[in-house]
A and B are shown apart, each in its own frame.
Chain A
Amino acid sequence: MTQIYDYLMVGAGPAGMAAAIEASHAGLKVLVLDQAATAGGQIYRNVSHASAAQQQVLGPDYGLGKPLLKAFMAAPCDYQPLAQVWNIEPHAQGFTVAALIDGRSVSFVASDLLIVNGAMERPMAVAGWEKPGVMTAGAGQILLKASALLPKQVVLAGSGPLLLLLAHQYRAAGVTITALLDTTPRSNYWRAMPWLLAGLSMPKQLFKGVWLSLVQRIRVPYFSNVTDINIVGNAEVKAVRFMVAGKEYEVPTNLVLLHQGIVAQTQMAQTLACKQEWSDAKQCWQTQVAEAGQTSVPGVQVAGDAGAIGGAQLAQLEGRLAAMARVKQSCTHSSWARKMAYLALSWRIRQLHWARGLVDRLYQPAPWLSTPTGTTVVCRCEQISAAEITDIAKAGCAGVNQLKAFSRAGMGPCQGRQCGLNLGYLVAQAQGRPMAQVEPLSVRPPLSPINLGQLAQAIDL
């Protein structure tokens, strides 16, 4: 007899852990599937095993994950690490979630789902970004958290709090930062100005990111308003060329870490046909949600950075609120204390999202990065250039999905995760349409890799 869970979370980051704690203590039968070996998500990755040296470099905010992780490990819920969810579909009793675990596909059934698989970094398609020796700043942080690896020398390029935080951490650990190339357009500072007041009520972790940006300027070779980044070298990176105010510079380096903010991972919600919406402030697609993460599909909630990007603290609160709403469904009555707690939590979440307005506007991607040109590779999997994509878009194709059919862009193993946004920007530009009207790439299984042999032997529990 198949066991049916009341509540299944995909992801064990701050949102997933908080939701699992709340829901399992309230008596729901909860399962958490997570792709990583240890819980924590990207933000608290490996926090329970990190050495003292790692913790010192990563700073006190990293340690904030420890109590949450401890409470999660003690919660009366089922938790399956190293589970790669590759398919989600409706089922007579809710949903079937198929995950590859130890080389086998196993299916789980749950009446309700909470998608909490977080965000990914906004792809930064600059010339030469496909070369070995180019990674993302997020990769740099993951390597530091999970593997205690530090680069010997690095050039950091892009914009956003994570890039600046990483610069700060690397500098503290004695890494040679050859240059910090800030691509934040000057106009963003003016655009963000009206949100200064909101920013003052940001959580202090975020506020620190902004503050750090000012400090970095004097502590590392810093270039602002950088454009036209070109990463040069044959098989490997040798140098970075870039422009500042019409003047060309070149700095030698073997390693470049790129970053321009993070965007929600919407693929899981998209496979379930949850309605998507374009966020002009965050410049990405996100799943439409109601107060406690309810999507347009009954039984499916989204919380944390998998929904509207807000960072770790917000994710944790949103996870908890989502679980409280799910618990309420199963209870005939709810105490006054719980009702008040729910209201207070939802008010705090709204306030934090408002405060996020400053960061959202300050770090919007530079237009030249959203609409690459010429031979710059946009689809890394199929090696399709910006010029090829623009040519097809100009011929009047219906949108990014038809563009994908005509060009192969978005057809490779990453399934458009790295090119989808740029395809949208390029179509919007070529056809003079607003981004909100250029529908995103459709998503189809598998959500993560599975081979035909494993699929042929998929097990239905």
Chain B
Amino acid sequence: MLPNPAPNAEAYDWIIVGGGLVGAAVAYGLIQKQPQLRILVLDGGDTDHRASVGNFGLIWVQGKGYDFPAYANWSLQGANLWPEFAKQLTQQSQIDLAYQRQGGLEFALTQVDLDALSAEMAAMAEHTQGDFKYQVLDREATMAVQPGLGESVVGAIHSHQDGQVNPLYLLSALHKAIQAMGVEYRARCPVDQVVVTEQGFQIAAFTTKKVALCAGLDNQRLGLQLDMHLPVSPLKGQILITERAPSGLLNYASPQLRQTAEGTIQVGGSHEHTDLDDSTNLQVMQNIAADAVALMPALAQLQLVRSWGALRVMSPDGAPIYQASSSYKGAYGICCHSGVSLAAAHAGPLSDWLLGVAAAPQKTLIEAMNNDRFSV
């Protein structure tokens, strides 16, 4: 027997659990497509683990899904949707996202690395029927597009389809835009339990017809309550950020180095399997700094302003999980660590899918990323 909702519970069409980049982009997509919806976003506390504010800020295509064709196509589509998404969001929020699609470089410090990267890119190009475009640059060609590199750089992969954005302003703009369009946002509302009712779901004093879990690492726990297997675990990344450097020091975005619109240089990032521990560590910071100085010796002079550790929300194969609960209609789980790269895709086709109006090819693509690929 399912419990009835509390008599004076507030009723919504959708509750989004999680106000990070994934939850905010989904709320943005839903309210834009169906402005009459009553949507509530429940966010956590001020010092909760937040992948969204530890993000590096790349809108990255290179290498994403080289071993998973659906993810490869989804990433490329997401990056291609970004220019229009950025334009619209900037207009609505009046916040400059510092979005740029000036292309990306992934540097290689050994020939073996460069060859491995080249093979991944070739696989991606094949998965996308040649829509993913890239070039393998040797040392000379790399130096020509990015002066100042160190002796040890043997080459790089270049793709003009990569870009960057200020992830913090993106989150801020999404929060501002969704609230302006009537979405209710509540911070410091940690969700302990999602209760299934006759009419849908109940969370604390709120009832809803549908619920989307966008709670990052907490999705695993919450998913179980709705009979969904959402196997995500933390993967720590430490990032360094320097004082402002003259603009134009770095011409391209890169997973190793990125110059922000303000001029600061972001240096990243480690991949450490830890539990819920986001502290920094001297040895890792030292390695990150040493790699950065090897890549570009002039960076040695720049003062470190901040360092931080953040926990990526990783599925076993690194690709997103988009799941509809088969036991409870109207419950969805959305897990991914590419909240920036995929923000436009989440606000666009993924929101269509959640509303049940996605066209056949999009529906097939999204559902290829459900949890069937992980045996339980």
Interface residues of chain A, those whose CB is within 8 Å of chain B, are 87, 89, 96, 98, 107, 273, 392, 395-402, 405-406, 408, 411-413, 415, 438-439, 442, 444-446, 449-453, 455-458, 460
The residues of B with any CB-CB pair to A shorter than 8 Å are 43-48, 53, 168-169, 171-172, 175-176, 179, 185-188, 240, 242-243, 262, 267, 279-283, 285-286, 289-290, 292-293, 299-308
Say yes or no: B45 contacts A398, CB within 8 Å: yes
CB distance from B47 to the nearest CB of A (A): 5
Contact B304 A446 (CB under 8 A): yes
* Whole-angstrom CA separation of A273 from B47 in the bound complex: 12
A19 to B176, alpha carbons, bound, how many Å? 52
* Contact A399 B47, beta carbon cutoff 8 Å: yes
Residues of A with C-beta under 8 A to B289 = 452-453, 455-456
A458 to B47, CA, bound (A): 30
Complex: chain A residue closest to B294, CB-CB: A456
Chain A residues whose C-beta falls within 8 Å of the C-beta of B299 in the assembled complex: 452-453
Cβ contact within 8 Å between A439 and B46: yes
Contact B282 A98, beta carbon cutoff 8 Å = yes
Question: A445-B280, A446-B307 are contacts. A452–B242 as well, Cβ < 8 Å?
Answer: yes
Do A458 and B282 have beta carbons less than 8 Å apart? yes
| Cα distance, A273 to B279, chains bound together (Å) | 10
Docked-complex contact B300 and A395, CB < 8 angstroms: no
Chain A residues whose C-beta falls within 8 Å of the C-beta of B176 in the assembled complex: 395
State whether A458 touches B293 (Cβ < 8 A).
Answer: no
| Known contacts A451-B300, A452-B300; A400 and B282 CB within 8 A of each other | no
- Cross-chain contact B304 with A452 (CB below 8 angstroms): yes
Query: Do B307 and A445 touch (CB < 8 A)?
Result: yes
The answer to whether residues A456 and B47 also contact, given A96-B282, A406-B168, A451-B301 and a CB cut-off of 8 A, is no
Q: Taking CB as reference atom, which chain A residue is nearest B309?
A: A444
User: Within the complex, what minimum Cβ distance (angstroms) separates A195 from chain B?
Assistant: 33
Distance between Cα atoms of A442 and B285 in the complex (Å): 18
Q: In the complex, given contacts A89-B279, A397-B175, A406-B171, what are 10 additional A-B residue pairs having Cβ atoms less than 8 angstroms apart?
A: A399-B188, A401-B47, A402-B187, A408-B262, A444-B306, A445-B282, A446-B305, A446-B306, A453-B299, A457-B290
Instruction: Specify which chain B residues have a CB less than 8 angstroms from the CB of A400 in the assembled complex.
Output: 46
Docked CA distance A201–B286 (Å): 51
Which listed residue (A402, A439, A460) contacts B53, Cβ 8 A? A402
- List A contacts of B175 (CB < 8 A): 395, 397, 406
Cβ contact within 8 Å between B305 and A412: yes
Within the complex, the shortest CB–CB distance from B350 to chain A, in Å, comes to 24
Contact between chains at B281 and A89 (CB < 8 Å): yes
A266 CB, min distance to chain B CBs, angstroms: 15
Bound CA–CA A444/B175 (angstroms): 26
* Distance between B308 CB and nearest chain A CB, rounded to angstroms: 5
A residues near B44, Cβ cutoff 8 Å: 398
Contact of A396 among B187, B240, B302 (CB under 8 A): B187
User: Using Cβ atoms and an 8 Å threshold, which residues of chain B touch A87?
Assistant: 280, 282, 285
Q: How many angstroms between the C-alpha atoms of A414 and B302 in the bound complex?
A: 15
| A452 and B286 contact, CB distance less than 8 A | no
Given A395-B176, A444-B307: A451 and B302 interface contact (C-beta under 8 Å): yes
With A and B bound together, what is the CA distance between A103 and B279 in angstroms?
25
Q: Whose C-beta in chain B lies nearest to the C-beta of A402?
A: B46
5 contacts between A and B (CB under 8 A): A395-B176, A402-B46, A405-B172, A445-B285, A458-B286
- Distance, CA A98 to CA B304, complexed state (A): 14
Cα A397 to Cα B172 with chains together (Å) = 9
- Cα–Cα distance between A398 and B292 once the two chains are bound (Å): 34
* B76 CB, nearest partner CB in chain A, Å: 28
Q: A455, B286: Cβ atoms under 8 Å?
A: yes
Q: A452 CA to B186 CA in the complex, in Å?
A: 39
Residues on the A chain within 8 Å of B307, using CB: 444-446
Q: Which residues of the other chain, B, contact A96 by a CB distance below 8 angstroms? A: 282
A439 and B304 contacting across the interface, CB-CB below 8 Å: no
> Which A residues are in CB contact (< 8 Å) with B53?
401-402, 405
- A453 — which chain B residues lie within 8 A by C-beta? 289, 293, 299-301
Closest residue of chain A to B296 (Cβ to Cβ) is: A452
* B300 CB contacts on chain A under 8 angstroms: 451-453, 456
User: B302 and A89: CB pair below 8 A?
Assistant: no
Complex CA distance for A216 and B168, rounded to whole angstroms? 49
* Cβ contact within 8 Å between B187 and A452: no
A398 B187 Cβ-Cβ under 8 A: yes
Most B C-beta atoms less than 10 A away, residue of A273, A395, A415: A395
B302 cross-chain contacts in A, Cβ below 8 A: 451-452
Q: Complex formed: what's the CA distance from A32 to B266 in Å?
A: 34
Query: Which one, B267, B280, B281, contacts A452 given CB within 8 A?
Result: B267
Complex Cα gap A400–B187 (Å): 12
Measured in the bound complex, the distance between the Cα atoms of B283 and A413 in whole Å is 22
Question: By the criterion CB–CB under 8 Å, are A413 and B305 in contact?
Answer: yes
Are B282 and A399 in contact, CB atoms less than 8 angstroms apart? no
Distance between Cα atoms of A376 and B123 in the complex (Å) = 55
**Closest beta carbon of chain B to A178's beta carbon, Å:** 37
- Smallest CB gap from B44: residue in A: A398
Q: Shortest CB–CB separation between residue B29 and chain A, in angstroms? A: 20
Q: Given A395-B176, A398-B187, A405-B171: A449 and B303 within 8 A (CB)? A: yes
A415 shortest CB reach to chain B, Å: 7
Bound: A406/B48 CA distance, A: 16
Among B47, B169, B302, find the residue whose CB has the most chain A CB atoms closer than 10 A. B47
B304 near A451 with CB under 8 A, answer: yes
Tell me the complex Cα distance, A89–B284, Å. 12
- The answer to whether A452 and B179 touch across the interface, beta carbons within 8 angstroms, is no
In the bound complex, what is the Cα–Cα distance between A400 and B53 (angstroms)? 13
Distance of A166 Cα from B122 Cα, bound (Å): 72
A442 and B47 within 8 A (CB)? yes
B272 to chain A, nearest CB (A): 14
The answer to whether B306 touches A415, judged by C-beta atoms less than 8 angstroms apart, is: yes
Q: In the docked arrangement, what's the CA distance between A53 and B34, Å?
A: 78
B45 partner, pick from A89, A273, A399, A444, beta carbons under 8 A: A399
B171 touches A107 (CB 8 A): no
**A452–B279 contact, CB under 8 A?**
no
Q: Which of B267, B280, B293, B305: most chain A CB closer than 10 A?
A: B305
Would you call A456 and B282 a contact (CB within 8 A)?
no
**Chain A min CB distance to B97 (Å):** 12
A89 / chain B contacts, CB cutoff of 8 Å: 279-282
Residues of B within 8 A of A398 (CB): 43-46, 48, 187-188
Closest Cβ of chain A: how far from B286's Cβ, in Å? 5
Name the A residues within 8 Å of B48 (CB-CB). 398
Nearest-CB residue, chain B, relative to A427? B46
Q: How far is the CA of A449 from the CA of B308 in the complex (A)?
A: 15
Interface centre among A439, A442, A444 (most CB of B within 10 A): A444
Inter-chain CA distance A396–B304, complex, in Å, is 31
Chain B residue at minimum C-beta to C-beta distance from A442: B47
Residues on B with C-beta less than 8 A from A445 are 280, 282, 285, 304, 307
Give Cα A413 to B242, complex, Å: 9
Q: Nearest-CB distance from B145 to chain A (Å)?
A: 23
Give the residues in chain A near B186, CB-CB below 8 Å. Answer: 396
